[in-house]
Structure 1
Amino acid sequence: MDALKTFAPAMSLNVKRCESVMRVYIGLLWFYPHPPTTSLAEVTQHVQMGVNKVVKVTPELGGTLRDGTPVRVEYTANSKVLVTCTEVPYTYVEMEKGGFSQEKYSQLFDVIPSITPDIEGLAVLRVWVFGLSCGGVAIATATHHILGDGVAAAEIATSIGRACVDPKYEPVAMWSSRDRELEMLLASLKGDEKVDDSYVRHLHQIIPASGGVLQTKGRVGSYQFVLRAESLRRLKELAMLGSKDGEEVCSTNDMVVALLWRAHTRALISHGSTSEYTYSGGPKDLRSVVGITNYLGNMIVLCPVYSTKSFVLGHGLVPVSRLIRKYTQNGSAAGLLQFIEEMANGAPDILATLGATDSPSMAFSNMTRLPLRQVDFGMGELGTAQLRSFYTPYISHAIDDGAGGFLVNTCLPESILASFLSDEEFMSYADRVY
């Protein structure tokens, strides 16, 4: 009889979303350089306690995915997420010197999945504790993109961290229905006649169904650049000098995006791009622009700021950054509506389509919206927080708010990387880490 009481019938939750954007984990890592006062096994048990509290409130986090249309998340009322304990032969100091390279320290980063070929049988949430050879500890979470975006992944980790250190903390349910999110999004955009229709028309124009393949060479590698505080100060001063009375001064964030966009556009041309257009993801989390906080994926990628190559390369950083500011403010709603239409029609992976053409976009992800340094697992002073990057030909940028600069993580073919390294404007602000 007792055995029957512990048996929980499997439940399922349908998730209606285009399958091409769901085969991704969002891996987040927190590194603690100083040895804990307890053993690695006790650290794992400590983290497990916090995970148990969160999963108890949201048992879907302990579920597994089942392929189909729509995809199902199967779970029980007693679903569990077991924290895995692994030792890796790296010290914090050597990883810090190597920029926490995903390729150089593969025994740590490769454990955490990013792109996954299949959905069937995958866990929704996974958690690890890594013991470093110096005695330090790394804690990692991997949340499947089917649940939400990086903000959702960070909030789950935040909830686990609070549950680890505060015995009185009561986690809140983390799952939200995709159908409900779409209703909220459409409601927030309903009746918005102020959006210029030309944005949608140009969006159709610059996202071709097919095109020539860029003449890139070498394997795709993971690289990292840094724009330190001094470089950001110079960019900010340039933006202020380029402003006019009565006009809004461009943000440093806009300037960094313009800098990357210009370097990327020059790289496209050097590799045979014949398209008139070049386009970039905006520097903001566009959901906040339209006043919504629910999770519907990274809107930045799907709302590109478009322009001709002649404008991007012929008008300098300040005018280009003003263009970015203009279209991330005024064109966002139209871009979101276009995204909904594409997904509702079962569109293929938009990023893959762009990557096959001679005018791919740049995908920016502004990591200031992920308060990773505020996640507290009760392990003492935090060394650094890192993102397990996706292997994609697009560039993302992240703010390392603890160091006062931008960490630019890129996954590029080697020949494209060479174009960036030879770009005098870009390298006058950036240093290559690895």
Structure 2
Amino acid sequence: MGFSSHILLELNQRRVATGAEIGDCGSQDFAASEIVQVNEFLHSLHGAEPFAVDKITPAADVFRRAGYRYTCFDVDYREGTIYLNFYRFKFPRKFYGKFDVTLNGGTSEHLIAPHGLMFFMHQTTKVGGLMFHQVPVFGMGNHGLNNLTPKFWHQLAAYNGYEIVLAQIDPIDPEHIDPNNFYGEHLSYFRNLKEFDAPSAMMNVIFRKVHARCFIPPFDIVDPRPSPRTERLMRDALDPFVAAESLTGADVDHAMNSYFGRPASTDQEIRFQDCSLSVQAACDRAAELSRTGNRQDAISLWTSIRDRYPNHAEAAFQLGRLTLEHAREKADALYADARRLDPKHPAYAAAKVPDWRTRSQEPSLIVALRAKLRGLAS
């Protein structure tokens, strides 16, 4: 399908910061008819230079000009695209948890089995990251191989515990779409198809990944009380991904324990001093402990957050900062001992712990990072 110019506005409204990592599932373009609006958004939101308005423009060029770090996956061997076949269940694990945003701007409707793409988007999106889908939902009878129903998107979110950031159906204006997307003479053997005047529409969905567990394919079943039957279906659906080494058995066990509430605490809870905290509350508490000089407690809490969420960027950053501060103070104390024990030694007198950044920079870096992460989580 290609992207609408409004994807740039959506990224801005969701506070996806410049420099964020974007993974695009499909080698997409912006149509020439979109470029005037693309240029307006690039200028107003990013202060970027415009593109020529008379030609199709690759999505890679647009997103990179907006300041995002962009990676594309597809089977078309386009320059700069990483080859990836969504019909296969073998996916490169090095991309798991890499992206702040993943995009499906008109790829899933071209797959007879789109759950491979949904799996890859889920696995490669960071916890707290966003998954954007812009795909046909009704009509367009000669475009793609499927139109995923609203129920599909509902079940997808329910099984994977996604936060629904946006779910919206927008009508398609046939005047602005190639008529071949609606009907072709090769389909004339379908009686009444050419005369069937049904509206076409796009589904725009944005999910936020909340849980650090592997993808669970949705099922069209009614099973209000989780049961061994449900779990068996889930495990069977994930077997091909395990066989292809895209998942491990431990990944699946963790997902099942999380989904079915084994143990009772949820993925979002962090235990600290006999309290159960949400991830955001745990981050706020750890930051407060650090500010008030309780470094060991802060290190302990940040470590708990990172153990639960290995891809949590702020936990990694804060642990690194606190560890460095501790090491710096320890080194300062040891240098002071050396100078006390032998004050005339020139090397001891000149010994100084190197500072990797100025003290004036340190608070601003932390404040900026926390602001960015809060924006991505809201």
TM-score (norm: length of structure 2): 0.25
Q: Higher relative contact order at CA 8 Å, sep ≥6: structure 1 or structure 2?
A: 1
TM-score (structure 1 length as normaliser): 0.23
Higher helix share: 2
